[in-house]
Amino acid sequence: MYKILKADFIAPNVKSFVIEAPLIAKKRQAGQFVMLRVHDKGERIPITIADSSSEEGWISIIVQGLGKTSAHMNTLEAGDHLQDLVGPLGLPTHIENWGTLVCISGGVGTAEALPIAAAGKAAGNRVISIIGARHKDLIIAENQMAELVDEVRISTDDGSAGRHGLVTDVLQDLMNEGITPDMIVAIGPLPMMAAVSNQTKEDGIPTMVSLNAIMVDGTGMCGACRATVGGKTVFVCVDGPEFDGHQVDFKELGMRQKMYKKQEAESHKCFLERQMKKLKAEQLAEGV
Amino acid sequence: MKREKPQSFNSVPIKERLTIPRQDMPEQDALLRSTNFLEVNLGFTPEQAVIEAQRCIECASPTCMDGCPVNIKIPDFIQLICKEDFVGAAEKIKEDNSLPAICGRVCPQETQCEQVCVVGKRFEPVAIGRLERFVADYAMEHGSDTTPVFQKPEPSGQKVAIVGSGPAGLAVASDLIKEGHEVTVFEALHEFGGVLVYGIPEFRLPKAILREEVANLETKGVKFIKNFIVGRTMTIQELMNDEGYDAVFLGLGAGLPRFMNIPGENLNGVYSANEFLTRSNLMRGYEFPEWDTPLYRAKHAIIVGGGNTAMDAVRTAKRLGADEASIVYRRSEEEMPARNEEIHHAKEEGVKFMNLVNPIEFIGDEQGSVVAAKCLRMELGEPDDSGRRRPIPMEGSEFVMDVDMVVIAVGNGSNPLISQTTPEIETNKWGNIVADDDGRTSMEGVFAGGDIVSGGATVILAMGAGRKSAAAISEYLKAKVGSVV
């Protein structure tokens, strides 16, 4: 069992967890992920490691409660335990001094971009962060990012913070200002990574994306996480998770991510019903 | 050296033994079992076991032992069954094979011990596998009072790390703990057993039996650590240099699934056998949504391949409620690598066999889900490198059939993790670890065996490789102590 040391909501439905994991903390590098199971009948899900401390023996992850497992995870609090946790998995991010590195992130991807931004900065890059969200309340890790990088720019779909528009608009602004990135790392929802890759392809700017595929074992055995990159099938868990964004078949991956949409909805509904029953029972008990 | 013949306890006169028919093992009704995940075979009764054991003619030079990859003393344990000392018979097997309840179920005896049984030359061979299974189960159920207590050997003071808890790793652990070494098994997944837990379905090998075997090893002092992926959580060098392991055994098993490299293989509903079986067996997808891991329940499933894994997958698809679950195999039934018993059981359960058919494309709908398979009919030509007749596409034979699930069961490649993280261990062009007959790799103190060395093979061959490695590791450790003193 793996103890949760801290658990705090950092945005609506988005929770940050600090988990005791001394061995993983000691080894993990930017870009790597863990597989976890919340309970003894749970599924295995991959989550990128956001931060860690080898001295204190913990890792942190950010979970957005979208489906059954993530919703269940987000009911856990400090002192609770995870059933299973294994890692660090996947190849670490390749970092070098490119010159100007632009980290583009959206949703919980911003927390996952932190270690890459930090490593990029440490390698001597000028690092610019572009953070995108639908609404200002959904922006996470902005302050942590600001401490790491040279400049942070924000975009929101509704204009509630930063530039009214998408991350690709901010990227265009940068280019218009004469800043040409030498390397772009995009982490976040698939459509965002696809849009960024599409835009930078024309300008020939190298773009790395961190793919979030469905996995079962996560260790190179089952082949669930396959994606098409450069016309070839790759396994995201051991060949990735980072790939050249210009080579990724985003359409196929998008469809593969929705493979269990129906089952996920069913599972989520069952979970919510059980939660509702529990709450009602608790209320009843309190009432008596 | 000639073996001493075991004492005979067979009361049936030699001449009459050949008149006893081979005993059928009771099994679940085919129609019933095709809707549940309970074990198909039910095992001999004690009476049946004794009758079957009495069929053994006690050859002066028995060949059966040579047919067994771990050389179980088959004539000896059969006589103990005749004596009705079932626990003693199980103990006799365990001298050479630590997992008889598992091997009695999944070994291909018909191509090993039973194939060379002298009785089998003119009659049906003695059912050695069924007898092994019977005594192992009997000992598990009744043995605790009469089984000799494991005498913990003098500690050697040396530590061995075993990477992977599949058949090879368990065999190594079982042998080395008897030598007094400190043995730790590291497993990447959240349950122990490797392919025995993620690959082989409950209806062929109940997980409770596996858990019992692991618990037995734990009682003997083997340490088991799960959720630990060697190469990533800790490297082999760190295990040896920082954690003080004197030797390491790599029983990593088969790796990434092979695909056919045809269009449409990444459509939703197209699984590798590894994924489909892992979702069902390890993750209990067949109990979704009670268990969280989802799994497709197809109406028309095809499974591409003709091995045991393909049979496991097709029988699983059937149990998940498929109206039609078919094997699609590019050669004929004669060339199928699957065990006859599995093919026979699959047929009984209503599995369709489309032999001499090969898919060339999978077709999807707008959501990216597979809806059809385009196939060619094949005919057999001259034998190829494998000695089997080569399948050749028949001209103009293309046809399309509706399917809503495809499982590709055409074998596995190797896991790239060790070559990624430990380049000093030599691998071949397929990514398999290069090891000599005793499992020695190119890195000192590191041994390997099972599918990671041989490529996809059987449980018993992995165990055989594990036992050879265990002997070599013991030898290596003794020499190491000698050189230090």
Cβ–Cβ gap A228/B255 under 8 Å: no
Question: How many whole angstroms separate alpha carbon B146 and alpha carbon B139?
Answer: 9
**pLDDT on residue B152:** 83
Give which of B49, B62, B147, B50 is closest to B104, Cα–Cα: B49
- Residue B114: DSSP 8-state: T
User: In angstroms, rounded to a whole number, what is the distance separating the alpha carbons of residues B151 and B166?
Assistant: 25
For residues A266 and A247, what is the distance between their CA atoms, to the nearest angstrom?
34
- Residue whose token pair is 């299973």: A84
What distance in Å separates the CA atoms of residue B70 and residue B93, rounded to the nearest whole number? 10
Shortest distance between the Cα of A150 and any Cα of chain B, in A, equals 32
CA distances from B245 to B177, B182, B352, B439 (A): 14, 9, 51, 17
For an interface test with B, give the residue of A2, A86, A221, A268 to mutate (most B CBs within 10 A). Answer: A221
CA B188 to chain centre: 18
Q: Kindly determine whether residue A266 and residue B289, on different chains, have CB atoms separated by under 8 Å.
A: yes
Q: What is the pLDDT of residues A251-283, one digit of tens each?
A: 999 999 999 988 888 888 888 888 888 888 888
Round to whole Å and give the CA distance between B430 and B446. Answer: 20
- Rounded to the nearest 10°, the torsion over CA B95, B100, B102, B105 is 140
pLDDT of res. B255: 81
* Greater model confidence, B254 or A174: A174
Q: Which residues pair with A46 in a beta bridge?
A: A35
Residues 6+ apart with CB under 8 A from B402: B300, B371, B372
**A44–B234: do the CB atoms touch at under 8 Å?**
no
User: B186 φ, ψ to 5°?
Assistant: -105, 130
CB-based contact, A142 to chain B, within 8 Å: no
Q: Tokens at residue A5, please? A: 């040391």
Nearest-CA residue of chain B relative to A260?
Answer: B294
What is the rounded CA–CA span in Å between residue B63 and residue A4?
Answer: 59
3-state secondary structure A12-57: CCEEEEEEECHHHHHHCCCCCEEEEECCCCCCCEEEECCEEECCCC
Q: How far apart are the first and last CA of chain B?
A: 35
Q: Is A258 exposed, middle or buried (0-12, 13-18, 19+ CB in 10 A)?
A: middle
Q: Among residues A111, A81, A80, A86, which one has the least CA distance to residue A23?
A: A86
- B275/A264 touch (CB, cutoff 8 Å), yes or no: no
Distance from CA of B366 to the nearest CA of A (A): 9
Quickly tell me which residue has 């988005």 as its tokens: A14
Q: In angstroms, rounded to a whole number, what is the distance separating the alpha carbons of residues A117 and A208? A: 13
Question: Do you find a cis peptide bond into A241, omega within 30 degrees of 0?
Answer: yes
Distance CA A163, CA A130 (A): 11
Partner-chain residue, chosen from B190, B290, B417, that has the shortest CB–CB distance to A84: B190
Q: Identify the residue among A26, A34, A35, A222 best suited for mutation to test binding to B, counting B beta carbons within 10 A and taking the highest.
A: A222
Q: Looking at the complex, does the CB of residue A267 fall below 8 Å from at least one CB of chain B?
A: yes
Could you identify the residue written with the tokens 């001209």?
B395
Which residues lie below 8 Å from residue B398, measured CB to CB, with a gap of 6+? Answer: B360, B374, B375, B376
**How far off is chain A from B341, nearest CA to CA, in Å?**
26
Q: Which residues contact B79 (CB under 8 A, 6 or more apart)?
A: B6, B7, B8, B9, B10, B53, B56, B58
The nearest CA of chain A is from the CA of B415 a distance in Å of: 6
Q: How does strand B324-329 pair with strand B300-304?
A: parallel
Q: Which residue among B198, B288, B416 places its CB closest to the CB of A220?
A: B416
Q: What is the pLDDT of residue B2?
A: 58
Contact A179, A185 (CB under 8 A): no
Query: If you count them, how many residues does chain B have?
Result: 485
CATH topology of domain B257-412: FAD/NAD(P)-binding domain (3.50.50)
| Strand blocks (E) in B75-207 | 159-163, 182-186
* Upstream peptide bond of B289 is cis (omega within 30 degrees of 0): yes
> What is chain B's pLDDT, residue by residue, as a tens digit (485 residues)?
457 888 999 989 988 999 999 999 999 999 899 999 999 999 999 999 999 999 999 998 899 999 998 899 999 999 999 999 999 999 999 888 888 999 899 888 888 999 999 999 889 999 999 999 999 999 988 876 556 667 788 889 999 999 999 999 999 999 999 999 999 999 999 999 999 999 999 999 999 999 998 998 999 999 999 999 999 999 999 999 999 999 999 999 888 899 999 999 999 999 999 999 999 999 999 999 999 999 999 999 999 999 999 999 999 999 999 999 999 999 999 999 999 989 999 999 999 999 999 999 999 999 999 999 999 999 999 888 878 889 999 999 999 999 999 999 999 888 888 878 898 999 998 889 999 999 999 999 999 999 999 887 888 889 889 999 999 999 999 998 876 54
- Confidence at residue B419, expressed as pLDDT on a 0 to 100 scale: 79
Closest CA to B405 of B287, B289, B257, B268: B268
For the residues of A82-133, what is the DSSP string, one character each?
Answer: ESEEEEEESPPPP----SEEEEEEETTHHHHHHHHHHHHHHTT-EEEEEEEE
Alpha carbon distance B190, A76 (integer Å):
20
How far apart are alpha carbons A193 and A109 in whole angstroms? Answer: 10
Radius of gyration over alpha carbons of chain A, in Å? 19
Tell me the pLDDT of chain A averaged across its residues: 94
Closest CB to A217 among B261, B278, B294: B278
- Cα separation of A111 and A103, whole Å? 11
What pLDDT is recorded for position B1? Answer: 47
Contacts of B122 (CB under 8 A, 6+ apart): B18
Task: Give the residue among B181, B164, B199 at the shortest CA–CA distance from B279.
Answer: B199
Nearest to A62 by CA among A108, A107, A24, A104: A108
Interface of B with A (CB under 8 A): 188-190, 198, 226-229, 232-234, 253-257, 259, 261, 265-266, 268-269, 271-272, 274-275, 278-279, 283-284, 287-294, 367-369, 415-417, 420
Chain A nearest CA to B220, separation (Å): 24
- Which of B266, B278, B420 is closest, CB to CB, to A233? B266
What phi and psi, each to the nearest 5 degrees, are found at residue B90? -65, -40
pLDDT tens string A187-246: 999 999 999 999 999 889 999 999 999 999 999 999 999 999 999 999 999 999 999 999
Residue A163 token pair: 């530039």
The whole-angstrom separation of Cα A130 and Cα A138 is 14
Q: Kind and range of the H or E element at A71?
A: helix A68-73
Distance CA B266, CA A253 (A): 9
| B159-255+414-484 and B257-412, same CATH topology | yes
d(CA B465, CA B70): 9
How many distinct helices (H) and strands (E) make up chain A?
A: 9, 17
From chain A, the residues in CB contact with B253 under 8 A are: 221
- Contact predicate A114/A141, CB 8 Å: yes
| Residue B175 near residue B475 (C-beta atoms within 8 A) | no
- Number of Cβ within a 10 Å radius of residue B149: 7
Going across the sheet that includes A45-48, the strands are A45-48, A33-37, A84-89
Q: Is A49 on the interface with B (CB under 8 A)?
A: no
Model confidence at A124: pLDDT above 50: yes
Both structure tokens of A46: 């991959």
3-state secondary structure of B403: coil
**CATH class of the domain defined by B14-145:** mainly alpha
Rounded (10°) angle between helices B207-219 and B167-177: 30
The closest alpha carbon to B300, from B357, B354, B356, belongs to B354
Domain residues of chain B, as ranges? 14-145, 159-255+414-484, 257-412
Is A270 an 8 Å CB contact of chain B? yes
Q: Provide the pairing of β-strand B182-186 with B370-383.
A: unpaired
Is B257–A264 a contact, with Cβ atoms under 8 angstroms apart? no
To the nearest whole angstrom, how far is the Cα of A24 from the nearest Cα of chain B?
6
The fold of the B159-255+414-484 domain, in CATH, is FAD/NAD(P)-binding domain (3.50.50)
Question: Residue A97's closest CA among A128, A118, A130, A122?
Answer: A122
- Sequence-distant (6+) residues with CB within 8 A of B238 are none
Measure the CA–CA gap between A89 and A94, rounded to whole angstroms: 15
Amino acid identity, position B406: V
- Which residues does chain B have within 8 Å of residue A87's beta carbon, measured at their own beta carbons? 229, 232-233
